[in-house]
Amino acid sequence: MKILLLADIHANSIALSAIRESFDACLCLGDIVEYGTDAAPCIDWVRHHAHAAVRGNHDHSTAQRVPMTQGSGFRMLAAATRTLHWQSLMPSHIKFLARLPVTQTLQLDGRTFHLVHATPRDPLDEYLTNDPLAWSLRLKDIEADYVCVGHTHVPMCVELERCKVINPGSVGQPRDGDPRAAYAVIENGRLEFRRVEYDIDRAIAQMQEAGLAGEALEIAAETLRSGGRAPALTKN
């Protein structure tokens, strides 16, 4: 069985469309929206192709109409694109995001998968990278062969005694210095991280056409072109 892992699409439909893997099941690990501007096709793709999906912090913010707060860097970009989403998304898109579960556990190919966007302790917001001890503490009550996460935009596999923690990286806004769209495949129990090039200039032009402008557009463009290595950017 071939399982496709996707996370942090971030309304970048051009990056998503560049992933042309065949798969038997797709697991989406949250943050379908914000940072990019083409949210509807991304939501539709997940709605029609994902076997299971969980809610990310940006999905939650768009669906629950979380008010924008002042800030710089990624906070500014999230606020600008959230406003555009509220203007462009259909009620059915908002409803889909609002109904995404925060966590989900399922069986595939004889193995147990636990899905969460961030961590079990804080499913939407906690950042946790390659720290085996910290992950062991977070997962002490989780029974699974694979714990699949997103949120950091950086590919990762932490091998613990009881399970593997896998982050496939970000489809729509990588932050590991490689601007190519990131994803992962588990096939017959074997994990492989993969990357694919896409037309970044076209993605930036699409944002501009959608109404993103000024510093927010500059942040988005720098981040996509640098693979997240652009200076003076903050987490969100």
| 183 vs 196: CA distance, rounded Å | 9
Q: How much of the chain exceeds pLDDT 70, in percent? A: 97
Q: What is the pLDDT of residue 106?
A: 98
198 pLDDT more than 70:
yes
Q: What is the mean pLDDT of residues 172-188?
A: 97
Q: What is the mean pLDDT of residues 112-137?
A: 97
- pLDDT tens digit sequence for 141-165: 999 999 999 999 999 999 999 999 9
232 pLDDT more than 70:
no
Q: How much of the chain exceeds pLDDT 90, in percent? A: 93
| 81 vs 11: CA distance, rounded Å | 9
Q: What is the pLDDT of residue 235?
A: 47
- pLDDT tens digit sequence for 96-110: 999 999 999 999 999
pLDDT band at 234 (very low <50, low <70, confident <90, very high): very low
Domains of the chain: 2-102+168-226 (3.60.21.10)
- pLDDT tens digit sequence for 63-80: 999 987 778 899 999 999
Own/partner pairs, 116-123, CB within 8 angstroms, 24+ separation? 116/29, 116/54, 116/147, 116/148, 116/149, 117/7, 117/29, 117/30, 117/31, 117/54, 117/55, 117/56, 117/57, 117/149, 117/150, 117/151, 118/57, 118/149, 118/150, 118/151, 119/149, 123/54, 123/55
Q: What is the pLDDT of residue 181?
A: 98
pLDDT band at 230 (very low <50, low <70, confident <90, very high): low
User: Residue-wise over 133-160: b if at least 16 C-beta within 10 A, else e?
Assistant: eebeebbeebebbbbbbbbbbbbbebee
- pLDDT tens digit sequence for 10-54: 999 999 999 999 999 999 999 999 999 999 999 999 999 999 999
